[in-house]
Structure 1
Amino acid sequence: MLRRLYDWTMSLAARRSAEVWLAIIAFVESSIFLVPADVLFVPMAIARPQRAWRYALVATIFSVLGGIAGWYLGHYAYESVAKPILEFYGKLEAFERLKTSVGYETLVLLLVTSGLAHLPPIKVVTILAGAVNIDLALFIVSAIIARGARFFLLAWLLRRYGESIRHFIEKRLGLLAGVVAGVLIVLFVGYRLVM
């Protein structure tokens, strides 16, 4: 099923309505969808490098809006909507552990790491942020920074290196983003120990 979903998402890049689909995928990815917007963003930016910055902006805006929707799901509709979504994706147990074990500062860090590297998945963190009542303004600012950094970095890489970097991005960008997220976590833990 996941492979078919991935293939369908990739097929959207060739359509005339690709930019609309990018906005839709970026929106739903941040709250309920399994496939990241990068799957559509990368082939679109390679096919039309002159529009890579525009695509990054569209993906960022709609990803943040989707994150806000996820925040509202967690805050106002956890039991009736968010919980069944998390159960469907097999993320409910991890979500419940996070909900009981993370503090406010840790959750803000998770917002940044999930926005950059999907660690943990962005949909889990957006719903969690709403469920534990993270300040919505802080949530929006962190989402703009993290998601914007991800999409604009991808746009820069694709404009600079084009098709030759596509396979690198598809295979190793998650790992690199994970390393960056890991460094952020280590810096945060170091900061907490010193303070």
Structure 2
Amino acid sequence: MPLFTALYDRVLRWSAHRRAPWLLGALSFAESSFFPIPPDVMLAPMSIARPRHAVRLATITTLTSVAGGVLGYLIGLLGLELVLPLIVDAGYEPAYEQARAWFTQWGFWVVLVAGFSPIPYKVFTIAAGAMAVAWLPFVIASLLGRGARFYLVAMLLAWGGPRAEPWLRRYMERIGWLSVILLLVIVLALSL
């Protein structure tokens, strides 16, 4: 049984639910501070299912993601010693150490790029708090980076809309497994 196609079909059905924007916001918030699944997995099918609401969905995703990022920042600032063992156990320690090194070198720009990239954003939010990066630039960079990513996803899929859905469904297994491989390559590269 195809794993990613079945998940995609289920998320597409959920995206039509009247409470789906609330679930999207909750997922976005959680992913930015502690949860491993990115909100794109809900935002993409929701933007296909509701193309006229794509801007609203991207806004919800961006704002709740940044709010979750602020929670991650506070975790790093106030409770790093409590969560550091979890970071190590989850295999994020190399990424966390790399994020700390990048903050020392590039500051604001690291948050901006991390917000847009597939690298786990939560690692950067916690590292930013642990290093006491200036709060306002952190929030601004998060808004710009996360906003750019989520508006791009939402608008592209809303634009493709019903035309994109059959193509996505047909290639979902390949896209899903390629995403897993890409994530593993990133984790391996960061751990070296």
What TM-score does the superposition give when structure 2 sets the normalisation length? 0.76
After superposition, the Cα gap between the structure-2 partners of 1:129 and 1:161, relative to the gap in structure 1 and judged at 3 Å, is same
Unpaired segments ≥5 residues, structure 2: 183-192
Indicate the residue corresponding to 2:96 in structure 1.
95
Aligned partners of 1:112 and 1:163: how far apart in 2? 32
1:43 counterpart (42, 45, 55): 45
Indicate the residue corresponding to 2:115 in structure 1.
115
SS of equivalent to 2:33 = coil
Indicate the residue corresponding to 1:189 in structure 2.
none
2:77 counterpart (71, 75, 78): 75
- After superposition, what is the alpha-carbon deviation per residue over 1:57-116, rounded to whole angstroms, capped at 9, x for unaligned? 000000000000000000100011x313312421123313543x3344524222112111
Aligned partners of 2:99 and 2:159: how far apart in 1? 38
Aligned partners of 2:164 and 2:115: how far apart in 1? 21
Percent of aligned positions with the same letter in both sequences? 31
SS of equivalent to 1:102 = helix
Structure 1 segment 1-195 matched on structure 2, within 5 A: 7=7, 10=11, 12-80=14-82, 82-99=83-100, 101-119=101-119, 121-165=120-164, 167=168, 171=175
Q: Which amino acid aligns with 1:85?
A: L
Displacement of 1:125 in angstroms is 0.4
After superposition, the Cα gap between the structure-2 partners of 1:12 and 1:88, relative to the gap in structure 1 and judged at 3 Å, is farther
After superposition, the Cα gap between the structure-2 partners of 1:85 and 1:38, relative to the gap in structure 1 and judged at 3 Å, is same
For these two proteins, the number of residue pairs brought into alignment is 169
SS of equivalent to 1:33 = coil
SS of equivalent to 2:70 = helix
**8 Å contact kept, 1:32–1:85:** no
SS of equivalent to 1:77 = helix
After superposition, the Cα gap between the structure-2 partners of 1:134 and 1:13, relative to the gap in structure 1 and judged at 3 Å, is same
Aligned partners of 1:118 and 1:129: how far apart in 2? 17
After superposition, the Cα gap between the structure-2 partners of 1:127 and 1:160, relative to the gap in structure 1 and judged at 3 Å, is same
**8 Å contact kept, 1:12–1:21:** no
* CA RMSD, 1 decimal: 2.9
What TM-score does the superposition give when structure 1 sets the normalisation length? 0.75
